[in-house]
């Protein structure tokens, strides 16, 4: 039987980064991946000849400290800034860009409201101060909410932080800050980024403030899979190994301690430590025998909010989108930027309400990116790819199932896009639509939730995945979590993998015997 110091379940970017840190520290590490290729949701796949597509996630946010620690640029990772950051076309032919520079964004907002431009600068400064406070916490064990508030106790604006960011929905906050419906429409999409929450949910202002306070979107040359490939090269450089086509049947447990894994093939692999990059529900409810866990703990896991609501559409196009608001198929800033389509807050709220009742939204809000506008290596000469996330498509449907309604969800999204870019349907060479069920089946994310667990305030910081178990450790000794279901949550940052590795190293002396 093979034996390792550490086995990592899942070769997503967090699993590979966790493994790289542990191998760099001298441990014997093996990463086991169910699919035939590495990356998890951070993957570039050649879906059609010559078209390399970021099949799931499409914008990395790998933290600079992690990239520097692991020398990911030396191992092939190259990123470029996306600026302008977001392009927002409106049905009336108007449009807006947002930029990494808050001052440039304010100039764009002035087209709609001078008062809103001034209000944006004030809030952006406020959000940046908040982000500066919490950003160092991304690469450390999560603080409790009370600890977070203590960090801000010398901040004269602490009460406003609590009120605006922790106790207000982005809908209410945006109505308070801005008068222009167009400005509200764009920034409400920041508040529901990577979440199934509606804009009226308390906690969406936390996501909004992080988005505005941070800025700095980047694109990875070669697609998001370049992050995983660089981390894999780093891991192998330090002696770690990776096995694909390697599905875990169960995590082996003896006397409440993880001792390795058993594969669906029947092979058993021993290890002193097991680290799961799978989401918490999959880890505890499917990979561990039920009688190894306390019943109360199992019920808490079962109650975690993890509903996925994203339909991911990948397309190969003859030409870039020709937007009514900013016409032209020559590559311009409207193509290199991320694009949000949501003409009003009411539009986003309507789609969210439909989702609550298990209905497909006729007009889903869209977020998208044309990677070939910045990276011609991802498609044949003159051709393009487009990634679309159509929001608020529920995992559980009230009527029918995803096998029968996938085409309907795809058509709903394309009909919306066609109103803004009428050339889209005639430009399609190839198309793939992934429902929340497909995302669960292909990438192993419970209910198709792209952040493993929803990023509600009661599932963030030390509450992630649940109170009492927010430090990467689990009730099973020598079993750790390193995926997006632990602090600081989703996005291609690498922070959960970094933090889990440091938790393992902190405990290593008591585990290695």
Domains of the chain: 2-40+62-78+223-305+451-511 (3.50.50.60), 120-214 (no CATH)
Looking at 154-217, list the stretches that DSSP marks H as alpha helix, in order from N- to C-terminal side: 158-160, 170-177, 181-191, 204-214
Mean pLDDT in residue range 96-125: 96
Checking if the pLDDT of 1 tops 60, the result is: no
392-422 tens-digit pLDDT: 999 999 999 999 999 999 999 999 999 999 9
Per-residue b/e over 365-377, b at no fewer than 16 CB within 10 Å?
Answer: bbbbbbbbbbbee
d(CA 228, CA 492): 10
The pLDDT value recorded for residue 159 is 74
* pLDDT average, residue stretch 324-350: 97
Q: Token match 């990023």: residue? A: 455
Work out the pLDDT band at 157, boundaries 50, 70, 90. Answer: low
Nearest 10 degrees: Cα torsion 167, 172, 175, 181: 130
Q: Smallest Cα–Cα separation from 212: which of 177, 240, 238, 255?
A: 177
Tokens 């585990």 sit on residue: 511
Share of the chain above pLDDT 90, in %: 86
pLDDT classification of 144: cutoffs 50, 70, 90: confident
Q: Per residue in 453-476, is it b (16+ CB within 10 Å) or e — as a string?
A: bbbbbebbbbbbbbeebbbbbbeb
The Cα–Cα gap between 109 and 344 comes to 15
* Whole-number Å distance between alpha carbons of 279 and 508: 23
Mean pLDDT, residues 482-510 taken together: 96
pLDDT band of residue 180 (cuts 50, 70, 90) is very high
Distance, in Å, from the CA atom of 163 to the CA atom of 447, rounded to the nearest integer, reads 32
Note the pLDDT of residue 154: 59
Token readout for 380 is: 């044949």
Predicted confidence at residue 268, as pLDDT, reads 96
| pLDDT (0 to 100) of residue 135 | 85
Q: How far apart are CA 412 and CA 398, in angstroms?
A: 17
Residue 269 is predicted with a pLDDT of: 97
Beta strands in 198-318 (DSSP E): 218-220, 241-243, 248-254, 257-263, 268-276, 311-317
% of the chain with per-residue pLDDT over 70: 98
Higher pLDDT residue, 210 or 369?
369
What is the pLDDT confidence band of residue 166, given thresholds at 50, 70 and 90? confident
Would you place residue 193 in the very low, low, confident or very high pLDDT band (cuts 50, 70, 90)? confident
Q: Helix 114-134 to helix 204-214 angle, to the nearest 10 degrees?
A: 90
pLDDT greater at residue 171 or residue 62: 171
125, pLDDT greater than 60: yes
The per-residue pLDDT for 147 is: 77
pLDDT(133) > 90: no
Q: Are 250 and 261 in contact (CB under 8 A)?
A: yes
Q: What is the dihedral of CA 167, 170, 176, 178, to 10 degrees?
A: 160
Best mean pLDDT range from 58-67, 133-142, 233-242: 233-242
What is the reported pLDDT for 152?
67
pLDDT tens figures, 206-240: 899 989 988 778 999 999 999 999 999 999 999 99
Each residue's pLDDT tens digit, 268-314: 999 999 999 999 999 999 999 999 999 999 999 999 999 999 999 99
Average pLDDT over residues 178-200: 93
Instruction: Pick 206 or 387 by higher pLDDT.
Output: 387
Q: Which residues contact 160 (CB under 8 A, 6 or more apart)?
A: 126
Sign of CA dihedral 395, 399, 400, 404: negative
Tokens of 495: 């922070």
Cα 265 to the chain's mean position, in Å? 31
Q: What rounded mean pLDDT belongs to the chain?
A: 94
Please determine, for residue 148, whether its predicted confidence score (pLDDT) is greater than 80. Answer: no
Among 52-61, 148-157, 284-293, 344-353, name the one with the lowest average pLDDT. 148-157
Strands 241-243, 29-32: pairing kind: parallel
| Pair type for strands 311-317 and 384-390 | antiparallel
Mean of pLDDT values over 193-205: 90
User: What's the farthest any 2 CA atoms get from each other in the chain?
Assistant: 69
The answer, yes or no, to whether residue 25 has pLDDT greater than 60, is yes
Cβ neighbours, 10 Å, residue 437: 18
pLDDT band at 361; cut points 50, 70, 90: very high
Please report which helix (H) or strand (E) contains residue 486, including its range: none
Per-residue confidence band for 377, with pLDDT thresholds at 50, 70 and 90: very high
pLDDT bin (cut points 50, 70, 90) of residue 76 is: very high
Structure confidence at residue 205 as a pLDDT band (50, 70, 90): very high
Rounded Cα distance between 432 and 410, Å, is 9
What integer pLDDT is reported at residue 131 of this predicted model? 86
């Amino acid at each position: 039987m093979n034996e390792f110091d550490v086995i990592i379940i899942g070769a997503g970017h967090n699993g590979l980064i966790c493994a790289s840190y542990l191998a760099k520290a001298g441990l014997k590490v093996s990463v086991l991946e169910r699919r035939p290729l590495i990356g998890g949701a951070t993957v570039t796949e050649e879906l059609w000849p010559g078209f390399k597509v970021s099949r799931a996630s499409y914008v990395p946010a790998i933290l600079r400290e992690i990239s520097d620690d692991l020398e990911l640029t030396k191992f092939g990772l190259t990123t470029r800034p996306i600026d302008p950051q977001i392009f927002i076309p409106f049905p009336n032919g108007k449009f807006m860009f947002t930029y990494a520079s808050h001052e440039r964004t304010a100039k764009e907002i002035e087209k709609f409201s001078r008062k809103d431009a001034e209000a944006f600068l004030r809030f952006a400064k406020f959000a940046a101060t908040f982000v500066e406070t919490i950003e160092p916490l991304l690469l450390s064990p999560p603080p409790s909410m009370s600890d977070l508030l203590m960090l801000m106790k010398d901040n004269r604006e602490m009460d406003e932080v609590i009120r605006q960011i922790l106790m207000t929905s982005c809908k209410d906050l945006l109505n308070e800050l801005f008068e222009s419906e167009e400005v509200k429409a764009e920034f409400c999409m920041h508040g529901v980024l990577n979440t199934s929450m509606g804009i009226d949910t308390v906690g969406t202002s936390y996501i909004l403030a992080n988005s505005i306070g941070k800025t700095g979107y980047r694109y990875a040359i070669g697609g998001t899979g370049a992050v995983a490939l660089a981390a894999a090269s780093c891991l192998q450089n330090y002696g770690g190994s990776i096995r694909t086509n390697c599905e875990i049947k169960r995590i082996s447990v003896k006397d409440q301690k993880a001792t390795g894994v058993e594969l669906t093939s029947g092979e058993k692999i021993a290890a002193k430590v097991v680290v799961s990059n799978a989401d918490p529900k999959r880890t505890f409810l499917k990979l561990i025998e039920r009688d190894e866990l306390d019943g109360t703990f199992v019920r808490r896991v079962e109650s975690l909010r993890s509903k996925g609501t994203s339909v991911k559409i990948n397309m190969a196009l003859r030409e870039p989108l020709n937007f009514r608001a900013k016409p032209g198929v020559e590559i311009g800033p409207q193509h290199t930027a991320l694009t949000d389509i949501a003409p009003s807050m009411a539009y986003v709220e309507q789609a969210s309400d439909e989702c609550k009742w298990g209905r497909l939204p006729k007009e889903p809000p869209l977020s998208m990116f044309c990677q070939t506008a910045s990276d011609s290596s991802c498609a044949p000469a003159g051709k393009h790819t487009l990634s679309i996330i159509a929001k608020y498509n529920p995992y559980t449907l009230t009527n029918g199932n995803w096998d029968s309604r996938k085409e309907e969800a795809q058509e709903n999204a394309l009909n919306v896009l066609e109103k803004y870019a009428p050339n889209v349907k005639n430009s399609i060479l190839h198309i793939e639509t992934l429902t929340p069920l497909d995302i669960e089946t292909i990438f192993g994310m419970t209910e198709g939730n792209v952040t493993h667990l929803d990023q509600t305030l009661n599932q963030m910081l030390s509450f992630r995945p649940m109170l009492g178990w927010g430090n990467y450790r689990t009730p099973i000794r020598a079993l750790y979590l390193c995926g997006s279901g632990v602090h600081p949550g989703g996005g291609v940052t690498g922070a959960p993998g970094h933090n889990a590795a440091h938790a393992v190293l902190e405990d290593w002396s008591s585990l290695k015997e």
